[in-house]
Structure formats: C-alpha cells, structure tokens
Copies of this chain bind each other. A is one copy, B any other.
Amino acid sequence: ATYNIAVLPGDGIGPDVTKEAVRVLELIREVDPEFDIRFTEFNWNSEHYLEHGTMMPEDGLEQLKAFDAILFGAIGDARVADEISIWQLIMPIRKNFRQYVNMRPIKRLAGIESPLKNEAPVDFIVFRENAEGEYSNVGGRLYAEQPQEMAIQNTVITRAGVERITRYAYEYAQATGRKKVTSATKSNAIIHSMKLWDEAVAAVAAEYDGIELESYFIDALAAYFVERPESFDVVVASNLFGDILTDLGAAIVGGLGVTPSGNINPERDFPSMFEAIHGSAPDIAGKGIANPIAQIWSAALMVDHLGRPELAKAIVSAIEQVLGEGKVRTPDLGGDATTEQLGSAIRQAVKEQ
C-alpha cells in the first residue's frame, strides 16, 4: 500500500532525529515494495513563525488532513514564546484532528541505565487523554495591573471524553493480555472535574471482565512510580496528569531520549501524529549528538498504526538489539556516538532481521 506521511521536523534537535527516523522508514521501503511510504516535509516551526508571524499557514490543518499520518519532531525555540509554538501548532493538530489518545509506552530496556536501584523489569503503557481537560484555552485574566489581578483557568472534562480514552485503554489491555488499569485522579481535592473522571472511568471499567481497576491520587501515584514501577501495567490519566506521569516514567527507566509517543485518532477520520516525548533540546541542537531512538520508535508506532505491525516490531527489535549490544551510544546514554551513527546502527540491525 501507499502511505503518505507529513513530516514536521520542527525546532532544535527535531530535524536531526526526524531525519534518522525517515531514513529507517526509507530502508524498509527499499526491502519491502508493499511498504510504499512517501514523505512530504513541512517547515512549520519557530523559524516559520519569525518569518511569517504564524507557526503554520492559515490552511495548515487543511493541508495536513489528507495525509495518512504525521511524523512530528519537536517544537521550542528561545525566540518564540512556548505558548505560541504550542498553541499554534501542536494543540490545533491534537485537538482538531481528534487525537484524543496519547499513547506512551514506558519500558526498561537492556543497555539503558536506570537511576533506580530496583532492577525489576518495568513495562507499562500510559494512555493520556489528549484532547480536553486541563489544557484548555478557556479562561482569562481579570483586573490586570490592579491589586486584585487574577487569572481563571477552566478545566473542561466531558463524560464522553473520559469514557473514550478509558475504553481505548481497556481495549488495549484486553487485546494485549494486560490485567490491570491504573487511573490517576485527584478527586479528593479537585472535586468537580476529577469526580466526573472517576465516575466515567469506573463506568467503562465495569464493562470489562478480568481486568482490575485501581485508582490513585496523582501525588501518591507519582511516588509509587519511583517506589514500585514494576507494579504498573496500563495507566489512564488526564491530559496534565498523563503529561507529568510520562516524563516521570521516562526518567525512572532512564530514557527521556528513548520514549516515543503516538497521538492517535482511533476513528481515523483525521491523521494521527507521532513524536518523541522529549523536547527540542536547543542546547544540543545542530551538534549531531541527539539520541534519535525516541523518534525512530515513534516512527515504529506510526508503522503499527498504518497497519504493518510486523514491520513496527522489526524496528523496535532493532532498537532493543543495538541498545543491548551497547556499542553505539549517544552521549545521553554514556557514549560518544553521533545521531547518525546510532541511526545507522539501527538501520543495520533492521536489515539483519
């Protein structure tokens, strides 16, 4: 089949790591004529903003709509307010393309040093609500420059929104034989939105047999991630809580540089978007030393989403093999390989599968 991919390399190390991900996909295309993947690059980033005053053209979403998927680098540049780069690019794509599932696997890998003494295997997956919740632009500032100045920020959570992310998590658990879903809440203190969260999660959980539901307050859950990460299986969390838990999760397995994510539109009426969970890391941008694994892994999630799980598996196996061998490592992994060398080692491993 033919797959049309929109590539948005973005800022900082985004282009460096995205290049390696694209190369891996091109290699697969070479060996598998059934995998006719094609790339269209869009330079919608902070540079674009500085030139044109917008992160993407007015018809940007229109242009992206017809693609089969989006491969996204990273966004963030000291010269542009984060609020602008995020709300003019990532947020409109996530929200308008109804990518309400943000899927982020957290896995301890051979060859990646964990900061924890606990050596138990860690392998869970976070399903983060990605379209509503705490990341809302509803609200505003009152009484600016007066003593009573304040800001009101509205978190808006819908029952349908919580149900669909929870259902996705349960379907995934069922399909993959996972046995427990952990819900992150704070309904003891955030009584309106998180209470609806709890109710909707429980309602969906009741539809599934044989999969346990546990629910923890986010503060306790953050501590448990450190104390016993091996005890988690599938985690379902709101937009903000999922954001925090996935960076934390990546940290406890030692791998912000290796953790991928998929912003999934399950109905497939709009493209899904795949991106590393790390940021644009301006301090190492252009130096050719960024770790491309998170982005290559994100590309693997994309390949899976495109309906080619066996190819996705080959990429992930190649990543695990190269990490396990430990010969080619970028500085964040304690080595001195370049982005390109690590990318090329992974391509080599893909070829040998």
Looking at A16-24, A113-121, A206-214, the stretch in contact with chain B turns out to be: A113-121
**Which of B149, B218, B250, B256 has a CB less than 8 Å from the CB of A159?**
B149
Considering only residues 207-259 of chain A, those with a C-beta below 8 Å from chain B are 218-220, 222-224, 226-227, 239-240, 243-244, 246-248, 250-252, 256
Known pairs A244-B244, A251-B223; A155 contacts B156 (CB<8 A)? no
* A196 contacts chain B at the CB level, 8 A cutoff: yes
A243 to B152 alpha-carbon distance, docked (Å)? 20
Q: Say yes or no: A193 contacts B151, CB within 8 Å.
A: yes
Known pairs A223-B256, A250-B223; A150 contacts B140 (CB<8 A)? no
1/0 per position for A141-172, CB-CB distance to B under 8 A? 10000011111111111111000000000000
* A86 contacts chain B at the CB level, 8 A cutoff: yes
Looking at A174-182, A183-191, A282-290, the stretch in contact with chain B turns out to be: A183-191
Q: How far is the CB of A102 from chain B (nearest CB, A)?
A: 12
Considering only residues 109-143 of chain A, those with a C-beta below 8 Å from chain B are 114-118, 134-135, 137, 139-141
Which chain B residue shows the least CB distance to A279? B220
Known pairs A187-B83, A227-B115; A222 contacts B193 (CB<8 A)? no
A140 to B223 alpha-carbon distance, docked (Å)? 30
